Amino acid sequence: MKVSALLTSAGINIGLCVLLWFLYSILRKQPGNVCVYFGRRLAQGRIGFDNPICFDRLFPSPSWIVKAWATSEEEILAVGGLDAVVFLRILVFSIRIFSIAAVVCLLLVLPLNYFGQEMIHKQIPSESLDVFTIANVKEGSRWLWAHCLALYIISFSACLLLYFEYRSIAKLRLAHITKSSPNPSHFTILVRSIPWSAEESYGDSVKKFFMNYHASSYLSHQMVYHSGTIQKLMDDAEKMYKKLAELKNTAANQMCEPSLVRCGLCGEMTNSFKLLANEAESVHDKEKPVLDQLKSDLKEKESGAAFVFFKTRYAAIVASHVLQSPNPMLWVTDLAPGPHDVYWSNLWIPYRQLWIRKIATLVAATVFMFLFLIPVTFVQGLSQLDQLQQMLPFLKGLLKKKFVDEVVTGYLPSVILMLFLLSVPPMMMLFSAIEGNISRSGRKRSACCKVLYFLIWNVFFVNVLSGSVISQINAISSPKDIPTQLAKVVPRQATFFMTYVLTSGWVGLSSEVMQLYALICNFFNRYILWKKEVSPDYILSFPYHTEVPKVLLFGLLGFTCSILAPLILPFLLVYYFLGYIVYRNQFLNVYVTKYESGGQFWPIAHNTTIFSLVLSQIIAIGVFGLKRSPIASGFTFPLVILTLLFNEYCRQRFFPIFKSYSAQDFIEMDRQDEASGRMEEIYEQLLSAYCQFSAASTENFKTQDSVRSDGNHDSEDMNSGEAAICMRKLWMLQCISGKEDDNKH
């Protein structure tokens, strides 16, 4: 590829970026697009639809850029959570390390590559991009030590920055755990694979087991019901509620006759209220068998899983880690996810099926990965014009035109690959759901890893190994030749990676800030379906499983190409700077934080960065070997070992903080809550924290968290799983009865 083709691709992508950003600056000011560009603020009720018509709405403004740049990390933490801060820290780390790499490589490595051989150089637009890569350095050159030195500087700088970031984010995670409000998940474990018994229900088995083996710390439990059944019961209860409400209104209308001479709002207050209460009591007596039937149905639909609540955080974490029975396939315990993080449809899956599901999803993801070789091979062929002319001889005349040549080789391959890659995240989310994750954040992290592996393999390895599927399979069958293959073709394929950064990176960010899909849906709903109201369900959470792999893939391209093809570094820096602005704006205005993982995306970023460093060092060893520079190769071997040792230190020092909780922190938190008298309040919140209902059903019932007025939370009072699950369901029936019991609404 020539420099002119790269400039053509850059010009097209820059034009698209400017156009999209220009349109965004105008469209975000229109009242009809509030739900698209201010979803988070709309969900919090901090912005409305109606704005006065003003002339300023028709002109673009950079004020949103200034606002996004000036926002502090504390504000991002407050609105987006720790995961948002971690994601932005990944971008900041990338900006720092590639700024160092750009200074070193553009000033030291790039001139050596350009003048690596004695040749007559053409004008820059007519030059081949290969003359800017290490492929232009002649064999046995004494200047290859400069490439080795640059690799050392980049590697040591990356490790140093990784250490400081890992330490800082670990402190943020500990503060997130210890200084935030009491989290119900810290007192709760999820028990699966509960043994089935013909004599007693699952709920009775749970109560009996934990009262027997965890009597001093067991508080209560809540059963998990088979997916789909609970919603049917909710609908039945809602119909019952409406029927009883009609009876109540009828009784009230019969007794409440307006009078101008009587005090009060309607008639004599004492008689009317007595009669209404008596009527409600009669209604309650008539419907009591129905309530008993509802409870019985709930017991029949219990699954072999339950949430078990403990009196202290320490007791919960101990119970979640110890083996509960001699058979490790029974009474399996895990620390429960947060109430909003629970992935309910996977909780009822039998535990014995999980290993089969994981194997099946692994096989399916692998098959999908290999099927994707077809479009990747086609794209790789487009970047090589001679192969394309042989495959499609009827296009030979058209491809000889200069502009068509530049567009086909410099722009079209990356666009086609990006379009094909749009299907990857939804597929990986489906695989992660089938896999059996119990939390939404866990499903998103699993999908993030799958998308990351997929991109690294199909975008990087498949593009550089060969142009045909047969050759790719041959390369895989002989792993010892992979370093040599990479050393040969990575410098040559670096030109494709530059155009990929332009298309998938720059234009991808512009599409993200424009929210094209949401904008089209909003236009369709408002002007075709005539829907003016916006449902909160359409306000999305941040797609970490899509954006984190993309950012890390660009980091891989930057590390592997830094000393081989330094021209990619300026394009990467522009991408990361734009991403820093765009994503901060999206966290502030667009996405709602419905759940989070507590910063657990950082270990994924750290491990990927270490992999990228080691891969770049291995490729450098192969390149130095091909260039017959044994000194440079010899000095690079210790660098690989030092990088791996650094990773092992971080794995021992910081990774356990992201994997589990410390007993010291939990015991201190328990003591503080006991000293302040907040334990009773926490126990009351546990009663209704985990509710297996949809948001719509909860809104229809207009329920509240039910708590005991006497503050007594003995295990006998809260032993039934149905008491916790049915509380919201039966609240409206209890309040109609007019009886004052132990529950407050």
- Per-residue model confidence (pLDDT) at position 17: 92
Within-domain flag for 638: yes
451 within 8 A of 424, measured Cβ to Cβ:
yes
Rounded to whole angstroms, how far apart are CA atoms 213 and 235?
Answer: 38
Q: Is 693 a residue whose pLDDT tops 60?
A: no
Q: Which of 633, 660, 687 is the last residue of a domain?
A: 660
159 & 190 share domain: no
- Asked if residue 582 and residue 484 are part of one domain, the reply reads yes
Same domain, 560 and 704: no
Instruction: Determine the residue type at 691.
Output: C
pLDDT(729) > 50: no
Instruction: State yes or no: pLDDT of 495 exceeds 50.
Output: yes
Q: Is the pLDDT of residue 472 over 70?
A: no
122 and 159 share one domain: yes
Q: How confident is the model at residue 739 (pLDDT cuts 50, 70, 90)?
A: very low
The verdict on residue 346 lying in a domain is no
41 and 115 in a single domain? The answer is yes
Which of the listed residues 631, 660, 689 is the one where a domain comes to its end?
A: 660
Q: What is the 8-class DSSP label of residue 262? A: S
DSSP 289-323: HHHHHHHHHHHHTEEEEEEEEESSHHHHHHHHHS-
Q: Whole-angstrom Cα distance, residue 174 to residue 662?
A: 9
DSSP 92-134: HHHHHHHHHHHHHIIIIIHHHHHTSS------GGGSBGGGGSG
Does residue 213 lie within any of the structural domains? Answer: yes
146, 227: one domain: no
636 and 687 co-located in one domain: no
The dihedral formed by the CA atoms of 81, 84, 86 and 88, expressed in degrees to the nearest 10: -140
Bridge partners, 744 (sequence order):
707
Give the Cα separation of 479 and 62 in Å (integer): 51
Residues 498 and 580 in one domain: yes
Give the mean model confidence (pLDDT) for residues 578-591. 94
Range of the domain at 290: 184-337+677-744
Query: Poorest-confidence range of 35-49, 73-87, 314-328, 399-413?
Result: 399-413
In tens, the pLDDT along 241-270 reads: 555 665 555 544 444 444 333 333 333 333
Domain membership of residue 146 (yes or no) is yes
Task: Kindly state the average pLDDT of the residues 706-713.
Answer: 35
Percent over 90 (pLDDT), the chain = 44
pLDDT computed for residue 315 by the predictor = 95
Per-position DSSP letters for 642-683, written without gaps between them: HHHHHHHHHHHHTHHHHHS--HHHHHHHHHHHHHHT-HHHHH
Residue 719 lies in a domain: yes
Across residues 121-128, what is the average pLDDT? 72
Are 699 and 605 in a shared domain? no
Query: Is residue 58 situated within a structural domain?
Result: yes
Q: Which of 594, 629, 660 is the last residue of a domain?
A: 660
What letter represents residue 387's amino acid? Answer: Q
The reply to whether 195 and 148 lie within a common domain is no
* Domain tally, the chain: 2
Whether the pLDDT of residue 274 is over 70: the answer is no
Among the residue ranges 100-114, 163-177, 226-240, 272-286, the one predicted with the least confidence is 272-286
494 occurs within a structural domain: yes
Q: What is the mean pLDDT of residues 597-620?
A: 95
231 and 269 assigned to the same domain: yes
pLDDT band at 494 (very low <50, low <70, confident <90, very high): confident
Residues 229 and 291 in one domain: yes
Comparing 13-27, 447-461, 483-497, the range with the smallest average pLDDT is 483-497
Q: Is the pTM of this model over 0.85?
A: no
Q: How many helices (H) and strands (E) does the chain have?
A: 33, 6
Helix (H), strand (E) at residue 692: none
Report pLDDT for 8.
82
Helix (H) or strand (E) holding 422: none
Question: Is 670 within the bounds of a domain?
Answer: no
For residue 410, pLDDT over 80 is answered with: no
Mean pLDDT for the stretch of residues 407-428: 77
Q: pLDDT at position 723, please?
A: 39
